[in-house]
Copies of this chain bind each other. A is one copy, B any other.
Amino acid sequence: MDSAPDTPRLDAQMAFLGEADRLKAVIRATRVTGNRFENSAEHSWHVALYALTLAEHAPEGCDTTRVIQMLLLHDLVEIDAGDNPIFGDHDAAAMEAAEAAAADRLFGLLPADQAASFRAIWDEFEANETPEARFAKSLDRFAPPVLNMAAGGGSWSDYSVEWDTFETRVAPKIASGAPGLWQWLRPRARAVFDRLAGRA
């Protein structure tokens, strides 16, 4: 390595990108085509593609570029803090602390200016206040039910989820940033729940 010039900034960026590889080993509750469990890296790609494809369903004045940046970064904290299925039980305060520590460590691998700007994107996503964050969060909540429908149940079957629980926990999160997507999803998801419950 004698011939390598001094590139501390690029070295830091590559350390971050190398560590990010571990998101491919974080396993989610959802199942992909072929029925294996999804990992958080491929999920992140898929929801970024959702944002690109469904941009016209975003709130007025929403910047899709920022939404895609949020979705590329949103799950990196799971490398340290793990994934928390929406129907699982977990201590919300402990989880939030673990994710903040993960964000400190992971974004902290980057050069300081970039660490701050990536952290700001992730903080904005988590705060769920801007149109961009609301749309990004809604897509993040919309994609798993779509996979569950394709799997004929998926994590809804695995966690024995009832329709009322689904509608109470998931609907507001999707409808908040993407009401048109919830309208599209509702009757289709309901049909799968009815079939699972033997009512159709």
Contacts and interface: CB of A to CB of B under 8 A. Distances in A.
A14 B72 contact: no
Nearest to A32: B24
A20 B3 CA distance: 43
Contacts of A32: 21, 24-25
B187 A49 contact: no
A105 interface: no
B24 A49 contact: no
A13 interface: yes
Task: Report how many copies the assembly holds.
Answer: 2
Contact of A16 (B16, B42, B53, B188): B53
Interface string A1-44: 11111010010011011101111110000001110001101101
A114 interface: yes
The A contact surface, by secondary structure, is helix
A52 interface: yes
A17 B34 contact: no
B38 A24 contact: yes
A23 to B, nearest CB: 8
B188 A1 contact: yes
Contacts of A184: 4, 7, 10, 14
Contacts of A41: 41-42, 45-46
In order of increasing CB-CB distance, the 7 nearest A-B pairs are: A45-B45, A41-B42, A4-B187, A42-B42, A24-B32, A65-B65, A24-B42
Interface of A: 1-5, 7, 10, 13-14, 16-18, 20-25, 32-34, 38-39, 41-42, 44-46, 48-50, 52-54, 57, 65, 68-69, 72-73, 110, 114, 146-147, 150, 180-181, 183-184, 186-188, 191
25 contacts: A1-B191, A3-B186, A10-B180, A17-B46, A17-B50, A17-B53, A17-B54, A20-B49, A21-B32, A24-B33, A24-B38, A24-B42, A24-B46, A25-B32, A41-B45, A41-B46, A42-B42, A42-B45, A45-B72, A48-B68, A48-B72, A49-B72, A65-B65, A65-B68, A68-B72
